[in-house]
Structure 1
């Protein structure tokens, strides 16, 4: 938190004072679109969005930027599908196998798995690229991604506003009132509980999907060498396999 106050906050203050609100909204949308594509964290942009625009307009700005930021890697990955496939499966085999399960289902199944992956502690940028090497279509991918981003968006907006409140306390040399302390403690506890709850639910739901998919897989057939099945039953020679002149 101290790093945020000393390094990130001056940058966010400069952005907030250097641009008008319409221009700043465009800058934030662009940063939220580009940063995930080049593996840069977009969380500070979400914080600044929450500080300047609040929950209503801030959520809309983040959703627009995040939707673009999740679409660009999807289409980039489509262009380099064959090169990505081997590298991703070698580096993250379990995660890739999980996403491939989603591609085998219906539109709703794909949508549901993407939502669960977004609210679970699954690498954000990894999902953007891995989805292209599966059979997941763009529409359930982007719809599920946007819905799954809602909890994280709200938590980041609150985090930005909390950072601003702590910064005001630090630089304005004032103390929190009892009401402010209670509000922030309760808000942090609720945010943590929501995050943990969504994570636990997503992990269980994804585990159930994997278990159900494994149960539907047909058992491998036992290959019996030619001539064995006709000449032996239960490990013993059958009557039909004994020559007539021996009897």
Structure 2
């Protein structure tokens, strides 16, 4: 697991910064930068160069303050990462949630899932940071509110609503991680999937695959259909299976106890 994960900083200091509750207020001359500009600069670096490129020095330079001045705004990088998570959750490029109606719960959850997916693909570094401890900032809580609203009014209890949202989020996280890693491996190797396959194909022709009858039957069909993978198709397939499962839960709740 990457060492760059959320939740390593002082949680109370992070909360004060997230909610604008300065502990005692800043003293001295007027600040040269705004907190939101510092966080935005860090996100821009992570988006273009990856999380490893984010440092307090780089971010300070990006907003025109000295590296030491950075610490008068944010205690350190650990806290910065938490602030980045919440700020990214309120990405202005994100889609506005529609007015959810209970009868359209499938459309509601599909919208949530695809919004999650788009969000991670815009900011793949988020996949490195998330842990089971949420960053309880205003943008994060708003996202949770929207997701819960997608399954509200369906007869599910509070825990079931939360579990449905968690199920969807976990599915999207795993599906997007694979897409992000596939993009990264292409960047690091300089090979497209087709080029990689052509490189190893001559050797594969020398192998006896008779010990693998099922994969020998399935593999060529899949390879002809979509090569090493079709992320959009795979995502839609998995999402539909999850929606079917949630649908069964809703139907069972509607029937009541037997």
TM over 0.5: no
* TM-score between both structures, scaled by the size of structure 1: 0.39
Q: Relative to total residues, which structure has the larger helix share, 1 or 2? A: 1
- When Rg is computed on C-alpha atoms for both structures, the one with the higher figure is 1
